[in-house]
């Protein structure tokens, strides 16, 4: 079994030191990929007649006889995972970690530091602990055979319905599953935009295919012209404060149908609605507003009443903006900022039931309502 550089054994320490040295001279956090091509690509998947490519198996890394797409040395989780709980960024490639095989000990906490949630999207470690804590990208969900609220009729094997099994239709989506069900990173079956990891996303606002969209999140309604806009925090929210966080775009427009980004603009909630369309609907009567039938998303936080006290941005309960400025703002603006899917959920997985950003299911009422109370200031 071939171990990836820096990932597993002390035998690679020399290579790691070299890698760290390179990182010191690499461009700042959050930029496009950098470093020697050979850190990430292998030309023939062969060195000394032994295969170079490796893949992530669920608990470790194993040599792969078959080459990866784009001549990559490994698959998504080969670069984006770590076999401990403290690595948040891969030492060789600089890849942000989305799966630690031990409980992550970094990133946001909603319980005073007892539990850490990892980077902005959360950490797939928690989906491994309980299927209901996250998107299941490595196997099917024990209780959900479909994406709840899905409104797109592409059949049971499409990304809109399942993330664990490759789509067997045609076109560029053919074969997509798991990570590439959401991140439109190119492979051998790519849309017309390729080389996402090499795009210049220095921004500050990332809002085009040329920049790889926000975190490589794109849709393919009427082609591949839609993607998520946002401001990318430079350490993926490993550290946060009221002025140190991602910025998300919202759209206060009419949401009486279930269409995603084509109607909602390049918003994060519109992206989620690609697979959970019903959950983005306002109500059945058309105009929207109270009484709501689902908790609203991309609804403007009213400027008066209990919401007026919500003025300091809390990265644990983020809001979406009507427009994106040049820097992360510490201020919430009732009257224009919006509640959105990621106000309550992490995108990958969290320590809590249904990927919540705090323990909404806790038996302790104060804990359960803590995140709700950030907006509904008179109900906690």
Residues near 84 by beta carbon (within 8 Å), at least 6 away in sequence? 100, 101, 102
Q: Which is nearer to ligand HEC, 104 or 323 (CB)?
A: 104
Stretch that binds ligand HEC, among 1-9, 15-23, 47-55, 127-135 (CB under 6 A): 127-135
Stretch that binds ligand HEC, among 9-17, 44-52, 214-222, 323-331 (CB under 6 A): 214-222
Q: Which of 173, 249, 275, 324 binds ligand HEC (CB under 6 A)?
A: 275
Q: Six-digit token pair at 34?
A: 């950098």
Nearest C-alpha neighbor of 248 from the set 178, 185, 315: 315
345 binds ligand HEC (CB under 6 A): yes
x/- letters, 223..262, toward ligand HEC (CB under 6 A): ---------x---x---------x----------------
Q: Which of 61, 88, 93, 263 binds ligand HEC (CB under 6 A)?
A: 93
For the segment 21-80, give every residue that binds ligand HEC (CB under 6 A).
Answer: 30-33, 35, 37, 39-41, 70, 72-80
> Residue 232 and residue 340: Cα distance in Å, rounded?
17
Stretch that binds ligand HEC, among 10-18, 59-67, 285-293, 323-331 (CB under 6 A): 285-293
For the segment 165-194, give every residue that binds ligand HEC (CB under 6 A).
Answer: 178-183, 185-186, 194
Cβ(93)–Cβ(81) below 8 Å: no
For the segment 307-336, give every residue that binds ligand HEC (CB under 6 A).
Answer: 317, 319
> Residue 344 and residue 97: Cα distance in Å, rounded?
22
In the complex, least distance from residue 50 CB atom to ligand HEC, rounded to whole angstroms = 19
Q: Which conformational region is residue 150 in: left (phi greater than 0), alpha (psi within -120 to 50 degrees), or beta?
A: beta
Cβ(356)–Cβ(350) below 8 Å: yes
CB atoms within 10 A of CB 308: 13
Q: Which of 342, 350, 351, 352 binds ligand HEC (CB under 6 A)?
A: 342
Residues near 324 by beta carbon (within 8 Å), at least 6 away in sequence? 205, 207, 229, 230, 231, 247, 249
> Residue 325 and residue 331: Cα distance in Å, rounded?
12
Q: Which of 111, 141, 244, 306 binds ligand HEC (CB under 6 A)?
A: 141
Cβ(21)–Cβ(46) below 8 Å: no
Q: Which of 42, 136, 258, 350 binds ligand HEC (CB under 6 A)?
A: 136
In the complex, least distance from residue 13 CB atom to ligand HEC, rounded to whole angstroms = 20
291 binds ligand HEC (CB under 6 A): yes
Residue facing ligand HEC at closest CB distance: 195
Alpha carbon of 290 to those of 78, 173, 283: distances in Å? Answer: 47, 39, 9
305 binds ligand HEC (CB under 6 A): no
């Amino acid at each position: 079994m071939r171990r990836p550089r820096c990932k597993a054994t002390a035998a690679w320490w020399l290579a790691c030191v070299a890698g760290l040295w390179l990182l010191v001279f690499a461009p700042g956090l959050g930029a496009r990929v950098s470093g020697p091509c050979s850190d990430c690509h292998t030309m023939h998947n062969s060195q000394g007649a032994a295969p170079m490519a490796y893949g992530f198996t669920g608990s470790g890394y194993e040599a792969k006889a078959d080459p990866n797409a784009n001549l990559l040395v490994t698959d998504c989780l080969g670069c984006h995972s770590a076999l401990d709980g403290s690595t948040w960024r891969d030492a060789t490639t600089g890849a942000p970690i989305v799966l630690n095989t031990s409980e992550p000990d970094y990133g946001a906490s909603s319980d005073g530091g007892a539990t850490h949630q990892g980077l902005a999207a959360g950490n797939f470690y928690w989906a491994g602990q309980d299927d209901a804590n996250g998107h299941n990208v490595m196997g099917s969900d024990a209780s959900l055979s479909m994406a709840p609220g899905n409104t797109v009729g592409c059949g049971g094997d499409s990304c809109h319905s399942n993330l664990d099994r490759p789509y067997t239709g045609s076109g560029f989506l053919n074969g997509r599953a798991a990570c590439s069900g959401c991140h439109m990173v190119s492979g051998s079956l790519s849309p017309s935009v390729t080389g996402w990891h090499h795009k210049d996303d220095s921004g500050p606002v990332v809002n085009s295919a040329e920049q790889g969209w926000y975190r490589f999140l794109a849709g393919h309604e009427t082609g591949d012209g839609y993607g998520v806009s946002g401001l990318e925090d430079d350490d993926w929210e490993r550290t946060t404060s009221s002025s140190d966080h991602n910025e998300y775009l919202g759209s206060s427009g009419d949401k009486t149908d279930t269409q995603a980004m084509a109607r909602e603009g390049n918003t994060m909630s519109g992206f989620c609605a690609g697979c959970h369309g019903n959950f983005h609907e306002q109500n059945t009567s058309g105009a929207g507003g109270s009484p709501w039938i689902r908790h609203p998303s991309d609804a403007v936080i009213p400027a008066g009443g209990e919401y007026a006290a919500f003025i300091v941005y809390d990265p644990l309960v983020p809001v979406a903006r009507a427009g994106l400025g040049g820097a992360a703002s510490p201020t919430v603006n009732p009257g224009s900022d919006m509640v959105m899917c990621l106000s309550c959920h992490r995108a990958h997985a969290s320590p809590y039931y249904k990927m919540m950003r705090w323990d909404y299911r806790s038996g302790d009422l104060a804990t359960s309502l803590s995140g709700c109370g950030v907006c509904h200031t008179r109900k906690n």
